[in-house]
Amino acid sequence: MTQTPTPSRLAFFPVSWFAMIMGLGGLTLAWHKAETLLGLDVSFSIWIAVLASLLFVILTGVYIAKILKQPEAVAKEWAHPVKMNFVPTFSIALILLATAWLPFSAGYSKWLWVVGAALHLVLTLFVMTQWMHSKKFEITHMNPAWFIPVVGNILVPIAGVNHAPDAISWFYFSIGLVFWPVLLSLVFYRILFHGGLPERLMPTLFILIAPPAVGFIAYVKLIGGLDMLGMVLYYIGLFLTLLLFAQIGWFMRLKFFLSWWAYSFPMAAMTVATFVMYEQTGGLLFARLASLLLGITTVLMTGLLIRTAIAVSRREICQED
């Protein structure tokens, strides 16, 4: 009797692994802000940047192997109405690594930024074209991960103001800022009128924090200061953080999925945003809040690394959905 061959685990290696690099890149920025603004006698940020870069190289190597050996699986993932939105986590990881390395190596940062920004624009156009012309999408497919391809453009100016003319940074910022409220409305419509998100996607609710937090950081970089729009962006990010922390009991009951990494970058972004508020206003309340958020985010990401390592050792990840 012929035995059905077991599918290769490589075929189920998800592109969403690159969300790990996003989280570690954000943590690098948060610790660098803390070291600079609080005068800490530590240098954690450079080592987190090194760890993020090494993991990025490893994950890229594995995903290239998937492209070469499992092209059908890659094509299926890129066409999936939910999974396709995680494909740009690769280009966002590059942009965040570029931003993380900026204080340590401007040349290395620029190289990463140019590749990441160009690739992200291509992936944004790819995903939005699918949204506009494919008939496979349903309202139940909508979740906060849809922010990643389009609103992710708002990240580009943070390092972009150092590497290119301001017009380029404003171009990317405008894309993210305009499409953020559009997608936010769709996410809340889907949640309110079409049932809650599946358990696997519940952690993506934390992605709601990222657009206003990152938008605030990018906007302050672009205008060189703080104004009313900047304050609105920061405070809506803070409100969304409080809203999700008020539901912490729901999140603590969730089974572990790789999607837990959706907690990481938004928390890091809100931490950096709060440090920027302290930098702009000098308010000690922001310094204390930023320090608290940094502690929470560091513990969270350490836990995610440990739990992910356990899941890998138990072969709980890279399984067929």
Give the model's pLDDT for residue 3.
Answer: 44
Q: Is residue 152 part of a domain?
A: yes
Q: How many domains does the chain have?
A: 1
Q: Is residue 141 part of a domain?
A: yes
Q: Is residue 321 part of a domain?
A: no
Q: Is residue 242 part of a domain?
A: yes
- Please give the residue range of the domain that contains residue 230: 10-313
Residue 173 has pLDDT above 80, yes or no: yes
Residue 186 has pLDDT above 90, yes or no: yes
Q: Mean of the per-residue pLDDT values for the chain?
A: 94
Q: Is residue 194 part of a domain?
A: yes
- pLDDT tens digits along 14-39: 999 999 999 999 999 999 999 999 99
237-240 long-range contacts, Cβ below 8 Å, gap at least 24? 237/209, 237/211, 237/212, 237/213, 237/269, 237/270, 237/273, 238/270, 238/274, 240/208, 240/209, 240/212
- pLDDT tens digits along 225-234: 999 999 999 9
Mean pLDDT of 88-115: 97
> Helix 210-223 crosses helix 166-193 at what angle (to 10 degrees)?
160
84 vs 317, more confident:
84
Give the CATH number for residue 74.
1.50.10.150
3-state secondary structure of 46: helix
Q: Is residue 4 part of a domain?
A: no
Q: Is residue 58 part of a domain?
A: yes
Residue 9 has pLDDT above 90, yes or no: no
**Contact by Cβ (8 Å): 180, 215:** yes
Q: Is residue 229 part of a domain?
A: yes
Give the model's pLDDT for residue 7.
Answer: 57
Kindly tell me the number of DSSP H helices and DSSP E strands found in the chain.
Answer: 13, 0
- pLDDT tens digits along 245-297: 999 999 989 999 999 999 999 999 999 999 999 999 999 999 999 999 999 99
Amino acid making up residue 25: G
Give the model's pLDDT for residue 41.
Answer: 87
Q: What's the predicted TM-score (pTM) here? A: 0.94
